[in-house]
Structure 1
């Protein structure tokens, strides 16, 4: 009779531990899903390929100056290697 009790206790405790572990994983999955859903609703999602926003100070005049600088650099680069 004592052996049956030991076997029962051993089997029950391992089953109970497995059930608790499964419940924790299930609850974690539920909480994770809820947090993700709320974050998407509140924060939105960013689509890929979205253009970068220019800073407010970036005017056409500054863009032209940058193009001129880059062209000057491209003309100078071959002379540096000579």
Structure 2
């Protein structure tokens, strides 16, 4: 990951960043990253990444998947003795 150095921040802005970091018990670096991401790419709810995956398969996709993993459902009785 690349590094960025920011110079010339107003003292009031620096103090607000430090205050937020302390309040949220996070590092200054993490706090600044969160502020940047909020402005560039609005924060998505934690479940949004899963929503992209769920409910997107067609019936054909689901049937193909089920067929491909069917062998995983077989129990080897000899192994459990």
> Larger RCO: Structure 1 or Structure 2 (Cα < 8 Å, ≥ 6 residues apart)?
2
TM-score normalised by the chain length of structure 1: 0.37
More helix per residue: 1
The structure whose Rg is larger is 1
